[in-house]
Amino acid sequence: MLKNQIRIIGGEWRSRQISFCDVPGLRPTPARVRETLFNWLQYDIPGSRCLDLYAGSGALGVEAASRGAHAVVQVEQDSSACRALHENTVKLDATQIKIVQSDVFRYLAENNAEPFDIVFLDPPFGKNLILQTCNWLEEKGWLNNQALIYVETESKNKACESVPCNWQLLKRKTAGEVQFQLFKRS
C-alpha cells in the first residue's frame, strides 16, 4: 500500500509527520479544517478523554494527543490503516493513544468504556453513517454530560439537522466539499 503523510499542526509533536495508507474512502481532514477545529477546542483538549471514530489517517486523534489529551481511543476497521496508526503511535511514543481495529457500530455496541469528553466523527463520505453513529453515541452512554462532538460530512449532507435533540450546535463551517460542525451535549 502506498503511504502518504500529513503534518501535525500544533502541540508537542508540531511539524512532525504521520503516515497513512492509501485506502478507499480515507481522506484526512484538511490542515485548514484541523487548524480551525483545534482553535475551537484549544481550552477543552488538555486532560480530556477523546474518541476518534473512523480514525482513518489518525490526524484528529494524534492532533488531540499532541495538544494534551489525556487519552485517545482511535477506532478504525481497515487493517492496513490500523497498522499505520500503530506505527505512528510507536514513532511518536504516544502512549496515551489506544488503537482499536473494529467496525464502529460493533465497537459502540460491545464496549462499555468510561464516557468521553470529546468525540471526533469523520466517516467515509457517501455511506450515510452520521445519524446512526450520533444516535448510538447518545443512546449507549458514550458521552460525558457536557461532551463536545465534532462531525465532518460532505458539504451538502443534511444528516446533522437530525442529531440528538440535546446536542447544541456551537460552530459550523464549510471548506470546499467539507462541512464541519461542533456540537455540545447538554
Distant-in-sequence, close-in-space partners of 35: CB < 8 Å, separation ≥ 6: 9, 10
In the three-class reduction of DSSP (H, G, I as helix; E, B as strand; rest coil), residue 76 is classed as strand
Distant-in-sequence, close-in-space partners of 119: CB < 8 Å, separation ≥ 6: 50, 51, 52, 53, 137, 142, 143, 147, 148, 149, 150
Cell matching residue 67: 495538544
- Residue range 39-56, pLDDT digits in tens: 999 999 999 999 999 999
pLDDT level of residue 1 (50, 70, 90 thresholds) = very low
pTM equals: 0.94
- Residue range 125-175, pLDDT digits in tens: 888 899 999 999 999 999 999 999 999 988 887 767 788 999 999 999 988
> Domain 3-185, what fold?
Rossmann fold (3.40.50)
Strands 71-76 and 49-53: parallel
Question: Where are the domains positioned within the chain?
Answer: 3-185
- Residue range 81-107, pLDDT digits in tens: 999 999 999 999 999 999 999 999 999
Percent of the chain with pLDDT strictly greater than 90: 73
pLDDT over 80 (residue 35): yes
pLDDT level of residue 67 (50, 70, 90 thresholds) = very high
User: What's the confidence (pLDDT) of residue 23?
Assistant: 79
Which of 136, 12, 116, 129 is closest to 73 using CA atoms? 116
